[in-house]
């Protein structure tokens, strides 16, 4: 009996803590392959949207999410040509998720009927952050797509090699509603990739494998540090090896985003990357719309 239990023990996903019933909605939608299919429209929307909100042919600059630009610069540092690095970040997201899917040994299929429930789940999971943001900020919400977006300007005509990326203080640059939504969607994907999927894994390796901390202490340390860095990068960002100020430092906004970082980390551990990135993106979309309809009048 003991041997049979051991053989029948379901495998755990590489990115989650809970072990769901095999082929249940929660188990299926936490798979990396589900994240690929679920986030594909978001990736396409961000790429097309970025082009559409920068249609002025006389304006050679283009607004990009900082985490997106970090991936471009990392690819160039690794020897990738500037043209490929300019187009590659969405492919990097997909390749990382394919690697996680292979490592998880989960089934490779997607039930199209799960897509709408995943959207609804992401919207519902974004509601606690909306409430928390309203509690912290009486006069407006704090989405990544508007009030203090971690965005920068890069040259869209000549590619990343044309010059350094320039941070933006978005309160003064007059982003349109669509621009805020587009950058919010990009932040949902690429910030979750950098600060949750990549950074937490690296911090876990550092604390647990190198420093020898217990698993629980490594988790707590990794989550808190990644959340604090996630919050800080909305105020001070590093591009091309230089520090830049994005938005004026505010303890209220810093505290809220740190708590949001902890929330996203918990969500990532429980529901996987797809739902976490979707929740982040929908929070930004909802917060941007509420700001436009309620607070900006």
Per DSSP, 114 falls in state: G
Tell me the pLDDT tens digit for each residue of 110-120. 999 999 999 99
Contacts of 221 (CB under 8 A, 6+ apart): 203, 207, 213
Per DSSP, 80 falls in state: -
Q: Does residue 165 surpass a pLDDT of 50? A: no
pLDDT band at 8 (very low <50, low <70, confident <90, very high): very low
Q: Say whether 189 sits in a helix, a strand or coil.
A: helix
Closest CA to 201 of 225, 231, 167: 225
Radius of gyration of the chain (CA): 19
Look at 66-80, 187-201, 236-250 and tell me which has the smallest mean pLDDT: 236-250
Q: What average pLDDT does the segment 37-46 reach?
A: 95
Q: Does residue 44 surpass a pLDDT of 50? A: yes
pLDDT band at 274 (very low <50, low <70, confident <90, very high): very high
Distance CA 182, CA 178 (A): 6
Closest CA to 95 of 48, 43, 24: 43
Residue-level pLDDT at 262: 94
Tell me the pLDDT tens digit for each residue of 207-216. 998 998 888 8
Let me know: does 282 contact 122? Beta carbons within 8 Å: yes
pLDDT greater at residue 274 or residue 292 = 274
Q: Does residue 200 surpass a pLDDT of 70? A: yes
Q: What are phi and psi of 242, to 5 degrees?
A: -125, 145
Distance CA 178, CA 14 (A): 35
pLDDT band at 133 (very low <50, low <70, confident <90, very high): confident
């Amino acid at each position: 009996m003991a041997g049979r239990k051991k053989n029948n023990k379901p495998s755990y996903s590489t990115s989650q803590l809970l072990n769901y019933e095999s082929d249940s909605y929660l188990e299926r939608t936490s798979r990396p392959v589900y994240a690929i299919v679920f986030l594909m429209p978001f990736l396409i929307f961000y790429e097309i949207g970025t082009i559409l909100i920068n249609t002025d042919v006389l304006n050679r600059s283009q607004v990009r999410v900082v985490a997106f630009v970090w991936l471009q610069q990392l690819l160039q540092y690794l020897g990738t040509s500037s043209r490929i690095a300019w187009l590659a970040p969405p492919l990097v997201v997909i390749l990382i998720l394919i690697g996680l899917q292979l490592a998880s040994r989960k089934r490779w299929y997607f039930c199209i009927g799960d897509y709408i429930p995943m959207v609804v789940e992401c919207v519902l999971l974004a509601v606690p952050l909306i409430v928390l943001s309203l509690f912290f900020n009486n006069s407006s919400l704090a989405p990544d797509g508007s009030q203090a977006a971690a965005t920068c300007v890069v040259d869209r005509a000549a590619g990343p090699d044309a010059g350094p990326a320039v941070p933006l203080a978005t309160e003064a640059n007059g982003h349109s509603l669509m621009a805020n939504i587009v950058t919010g969607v990009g932040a949902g994907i690429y910030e979750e990739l950098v600060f949750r999927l990549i950074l937490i894994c690296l911090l876990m390796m550092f604390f647990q494998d190198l420093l020898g901390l217990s698993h629980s202490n490594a988790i707590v340390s990794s989550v808190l540090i990644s959340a604090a860095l996630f919050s800080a990068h909305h105020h001070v960002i590093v591009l091309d090896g230089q520090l830049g100020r994005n938005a004026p430092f505010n303890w209220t906004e810093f505290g809220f985003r740190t708590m949001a970082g902890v929330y996203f980390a918990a969500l990532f551990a429980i529901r996987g990357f797809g739902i976490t990135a979707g929740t982040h993106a929908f929070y930004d979309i909802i917060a941007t719309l509420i700001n436009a309809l309620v607070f900006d009048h």
